[in-house]
């Protein structure tokens, strides 16, 4: 079993900027479609959640696109927290959601 290592593709600030741009795009598209921001803003993930999702997607791509098992998912998320300590609370919250399933 290969262990995932978080690639430092960019600084956390750059990753957050990318996530902000992604979220802004989603908001823009929903507004154009006539969505009410009072209704949909709470549905959208926070910027740090988006960063974790981006890093998780990198891990899935590095594993030939295979969906991770629950054990691998936990390891990947822990590696993200270790590589980016500022994301630790977000990672643990997402890990908590895994156990809720």
The predicted pLDDT at position 69 comes to 87
pLDDT category, 68, cuts 50, 70, 90? Answer: confident
Main-chain dihedrals φ then ψ at residue 3, nearest 5 degrees: -90, 135
How far is it, in rounded angstroms, from Cα 42 to Cα 90?
16
> For residue range 31-47, what is the model confidence (pLDDT) as tens digits?
999 999 999 999 999 99
d(CA 96, CA 101): 9
Mean pLDDT within 73-78: 92
Q: Taking residues 51-73, what's their average pLDDT?
A: 88
- Phi, psi of 64, rounded to the nearest 5 degrees: 60, 30
């Amino acid at each position: 079993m290969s262990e995932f290592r978080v690639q430092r593709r960019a600084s956390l600030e750059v990753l957050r900027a990318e996530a902000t741009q992604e979220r802004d795009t989603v908001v823009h598209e929903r507004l154009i479609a006539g969505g009410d921001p009072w209704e949909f803003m709470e549905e959208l993930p926070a910027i740090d959640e988006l960063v974790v999702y981006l890093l998780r997607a990198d891990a899935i791509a590095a594993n030939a696109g295979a969906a991770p098992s629950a054990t691998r998912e936990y390891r990947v998320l822990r590696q993200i927290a270790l590589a980016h300590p500022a994301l630790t609370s977000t990672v643990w919250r997402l890990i908590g959601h895994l156990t809720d399933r």
